[in-house]
Chain A
């Protein structure tokens, strides 16, 4: 049992290292981080009028996270499996004595590490609010923590979609579509329309499956156990689906 666990851990570490080096061996990670920071900056500054709110909090900054993750995380995850399938290296990977869940987790952790680095590089915003006035740094730290957890869930969607195809572009498009559905389900415009069509119960029920709904309280610096469990549960589900999709290939179905 212990040997099996150690074997899985070795697999996770080996795959994580390989995937992380793959991100930084090409301009992928650098371009991803640069564009993410630029777009997040423009949205926070221009659309949320960050400096005109007069408040020393990062609410306008965190507001955009689900919407940007919806696009950026599938972009980060799209190559994880699709490129392996396209290049034929998945055959090599599946012949190694490492557990498949270990490979799936290692790949996701590599993408998550890049996302974490991108989030960490937004630290000037945190410094800015502290310069503007007395900021609730604990609340900000909690919002960052939940944002990172949510990024993992979005990456889980992207990785699972990547396991279904040999085309990175298709993986990105399907990842964004699924991520959009999971985000927009909590958007007042959507919940309002569903409520008026099917009753308020239906609108509330759909909103419960939305990343937007579960990130709402975290955005204000409140850590809700329900939200944390939702993202952790969703990420676990994505990892299981990802494993099943790849395992399905072993049965010979292309």
Chain B
């Protein structure tokens, strides 16, 4: 469903992502782990078509994000880090704007907007300006926008960052409901989320992949569980101790 092929990106000589390749199938939820600055968001931006890779490509159902960007973007739902939204809009007008941008006609737009309002459980705030919403509701509005066109591939950059435990649970439940018929990448540095949401884990450090395992296998690779395994992997990749 999603195929990353030798994706690389540098900024002013600094290599943010180097030669990153993997495939993701329908039904897989990939936890994309790494420290801050490891290259997670840069990778997500390249796959979403926001940043151009220097080398390599990402293909969504065969559509290249480099040579056929708009077609590939139709197949992707993207929640950027921090879920930036237009604060002067209401969730309803925001979702309608996204539906228009996806070229939906009036009937399809109403159906899609009603569906995601129910899925993201934001019905109580659809008429409120986004600027007045809590962080949790804003994140859910962003998530509703990402799934509005029912994309086969979802890219969620830190979807639960900064949320309280109840809000985190709501977002996780939403992701779990969608997981069976989509390929989902969740970028996070919160390790405890991985067993709860992901069926596979990729760890990157300094833009390079250092592990590609199931959460159970990764946790079993160190005596201290997932956290210890993650620290060991990152330390080994840097050639030093923790």
CB of A26 closer than 8 Å to a CB of B: yes
Of the candidate stretches A94-102, A110-118, A130-138, A237-245, the one touching chain B is A94-102
- The tally of CB-CB contacts under 8 A between chains A and B is 78
Interface-lining segment among B72-80, B180-188, B207-215? B72-80
Taking the nearest CB of chain B, how far is it from the CB of A245, in angstroms? 15
CB pair B87 A87 closer than 8 Å: yes
Known: A91-B45, A91-B80. A6 touches B103 (CB 8 A): yes
Shortest Cβ distance from residue A109 to the other chain B in the assembled complex, whole angstroms = 14
* B-chain residues with CB within 8 Å of residue A95 when the two chains form the complex: 48-50, 73, 76, 78, 80
A14, A22, A99: the one within 8 Å of B86 (CB): A22
**Measured CA separation A6–B105 after assembly (Å):** 12
Interface centre among A87, A89, A97 (most CB of B within 10 A): A97
Asked, given contacts A7-B70, A251-B52, A252-B51, whether A96 binds B102 with beta carbons under 8 Å apart, the answer is yes
Residues of chain B within 8 A of A158, CB atoms compared:
none
A6, A14, A89, A99: the one contacting B84 at CB < 8 Å is A89
Q: Is the CB of B51 within 8 A of A96?
A: no
Nearest B residue (CB) for A23? B88
- Which one of A6, A25, A89, A251 contacts B85 once the chains associate, using CB atoms below 8 Å? A89
Give B146-189 interface residues, CB cut-off 8 Å to A: none
Give the docked Cα–Cα distance between A207 and B47 (Å): 48
Q: Which of A7, A10, A22, A251 contacts B88 (CB 8 A)?
A: A22
Contacts of B82 in A (CB 8 A): 88
Task: State A13–B102 Cα separation when bound (angstroms).
Answer: 11
B51, B85, B97: the one within 8 Å of A250 (CB): B51
Tell me if B93 counts as interface (CB < 8 A to partner A).
Answer: yes
Per a CB cutoff under 8 Å, which of B9, B97, B103, B145 touches A17? B97
Q: A88-B80, A95-B73 are in contact. Are A26 and B88 (CB under 8 A)?
A: yes
In whole angstroms, what is the CA distance A13 to B96 when docked? 12
Interface residues of A in 77-99 (CB under 8 A from B): 87-89, 91-92, 94-99
Instruction: State how many angstroms separate the Cβ of A95 from the closest Cβ of chain B.
Output: 4
- Smallest beta-carbon distance A247→chain B, Å: 9
Decide if B73 touches A97 in the complex (CB within 8 Å): yes
Residue B89 lies at the interface, judged by CB distance under 8 Å to chain A: yes
User: Considering only CB atoms and an 8 Å cut-off, how many residues of chain A contact the other chain?
Assistant: 27
* B73 contacts A96, C-beta separation under 8 Å: yes
Tell me whether chain A's interface is mostly helix, strand or loop, or mixed: helix
A96 to B84, CA, bound (A): 14
Size of B's binding interface in residues, CB under 8 A:
32
Chain B hits for A13, CB < 8 A: 100
Q: Is the CB of B98 within 8 A of A96?
A: yes
Which among A11, A92, A99 has the highest number of chain B CB atoms within 10 Å? A92
In the complex, which residues of chain A have a beta carbon less than 8 angstroms from the beta carbon of B145?
92
Map CB proximity to B onto A10-21 as digits: 1 under 8 Å, 0 otherwise.
Answer: 110111011001
Question: Which A residues are CB-close (under 8 A) to B107?
Answer: none
A87 to B84, CA, bound (A): 7
Q: Which of A18, A94, A97, A251 contacts B102 (CB 8 A)?
A: A97
Distance A14 CA – B45 CA, assembled complex (angstroms): 23
How far apart sit A87 and B10, CA to CA, in the bound complex (Å)?
24
Q: List 21 A-B contacts (CB under 8 A).
A: A14-B97, A14-B100, A21-B93, A22-B86, A22-B88, A25-B89, A25-B129, A88-B80, A88-B82, A89-B84, A92-B78, A92-B80, A92-B84, A92-B145, A95-B49, A95-B76, A96-B98, A97-B70, A97-B102, A97-B103, A250-B51
Sorted nearest first, the 9 A-B pairs with minimum C-beta distance are A88-B84, A14-B100, A97-B73, A25-B88, A10-B103, A95-B78, A14-B101, A91-B80, A95-B48
Contacts from B to A (Cβ < 8 Å)? 9-11, 45, 48-52, 70-71, 73-74, 76, 78, 80, 82, 84-89, 93, 97-98, 100-103, 129, 145
Given pairs A18-B89, A87-B84, A252-B10, 19 additional interface contacts (CB within 8 A)? A10-B100, A14-B100, A15-B101, A17-B97, A18-B86, A18-B97, A22-B88, A25-B89, A88-B80, A88-B82, A88-B84, A91-B84, A92-B84, A94-B49, A95-B48, A95-B80, A98-B101, A250-B51, A251-B51
